[in-house]
Amino acid sequence: MSDELVVDPRTSAPISFEPSFLDRSGWVMPLLLGGALLLAMLLSLCLGAYPLPFLKAAQIVGHLALPWVLPENPPWTVEELIVVQVIRLPRVLLATFAGLALGLAGAALQGMMRNPLVGPDLVGVSSGAAFGGVLAMLVGWTFFGMVGMAFAMGLLAMACTFGLSHLVRGGVQTMALILAGVFVGAFFTALVGIVQYVADNVQLPGIVYWLLGSFVGADKGKVALIAVPVFLSGSILMLLRWRLNVLSLSDLDAQSLGVNVRRLRWLIIALVSLLIAGQVAVSGIVGWIGLVVPHVARMLVGPDHRRVLPASALVGALFSLGLDNIARSVAQQEIPVGILSALFGTPMIAVLFWKTQGKGWNRE
């Protein structure tokens, strides 16, 4: 690329507005991704030990979603209704919402930290939330007590990461941030280990399996546990999504454009912590999705956070739903989703790393 100005400043002839490809996809992508997600959810409802054909599953969900009373003599058996409504739907929703939360959190974190190489598990917030979660399990708190504790500890971990990276050399810097995230993550993982050590034999297997990350044991309560934080903090994040563009410039730059950088950053940190707390409370640490998915979203809709945030949420949901389907159908024994996400996520991020080197990744 030549380092020459293309335009003569003296002649500023008006140029007609031409919508770019991305502008045209303004309605294509949301419908495409949303449709894919709905279809994937329906297909996931047909997956499992109880035989249930696709059309019947769709029929049942259709009836359930409409605000009318179920028919007196339904064309389905009670068992089939139970399978869809009580067993599979909560699980599908759990996987979907965990993916939404991770995708949103990842995109918001990457934008806020101006660094495409961070994810909720890399800045320590997942470990912090996990520590809060096991602590809550130890003292016997459940439901929103657990989310609250996970939120508090996740926030603490994020604050530690930021504090530490500031100590290194005033200002938020890429390498310092990643290293600080690793330190803080390791520290909270050690705290989780201590809780595991202290926990008695009855609690231990539950804690260990939960930590591996899994959607096993989905029910209404768990769906509420993650749906509330996702809707709450997700909708605020969605409203803030254009601000993320501005925040992703330098501090000074964003400040000079009239953004209260400090306040906005802490707001986003709190929202991300809440998202991750909800996700960790229902499914333990599920790594890598939050790191990989925003990249995929950016490939689909470009870098503008107005589109990246929702797209990343939907791609995250698709990803997590797909992993969960693999987890519960491929092997004889159910594989924890946390293991699968690392198994699929790390090669993907390696490829992305190689493909996009020199595009804002390797520079300060």
Among 303, 322, 339, 353, interactor with another protein by CB under 8 A: 303
Q: Judged by CB under 8 A, which stretch of 96-104, 159-167, 282-290, 344-352 contacts another protein?
A: 96-104
**For residues 186 and 257, which CB has a smaller minimum distance to another protein in the complex?**
257
252 near another protein, rule: CB under 8 A: yes
Nearest CB to another protein, comparing residues 1 and 55: 1
**Residue among 55, 71, 332, 354 that touches another protein (CB under 8 A):** 332
Out of 98, 243, 271, 352, the only residue in the binding site for another protein (CB under 8 A) is 243
Q: Is 53 in the site for another protein (CB under 8 A)?
A: no
| Choice from 39, 75, 82, 145 touching another protein (CB under 8 A) | 82
Name the residue nearer to another protein (CB basis): 26 or 193: 26
Given 40, 46, 93, 280, the residue binding another protein (CB under 8 A): 93
> Is 238 exposed, middle or buried, given 0-12, 13-18 or 19+ CB atoms closer than 10 A?
middle
Residue 58 as a binder of another protein (CB under 8 A): the answer is no
Site for another protein contains 278 (CB under 8 A): no
Count Cβ atoms below 10 Å from residue 271 Cβ, excluding itself: 22
Residues 193 to 212 in contact with another protein, rule: CB under 8 A: 200-202
Q: Does 245 bind another protein (CB under 8 A)?
A: yes
Burial of 257 (0-12, 13-18, 19+ CB in 10 A): exposed
Nearer to another protein, 256 or 357 (CB): 256
- The residue from 179, 212, 236, 326 that contacts another protein (CB under 8 A) is 236
Which residues within the stretch 211-230 sit at the binding site for another protein (CB under 8 A)? 216-217, 219-220, 223-224, 227
Point out which span in 89-97, 142-150, 178-186, 284-292 binds another protein (CB under 8 A): 89-97
- Does position 119 interact with another protein (CB under 8 A)? The reply is no
Minimum CB distance to another protein, residue 316 (Å): 12
Q: Which of 163, 242, 262, 330 binds another protein (CB under 8 A)?
A: 242
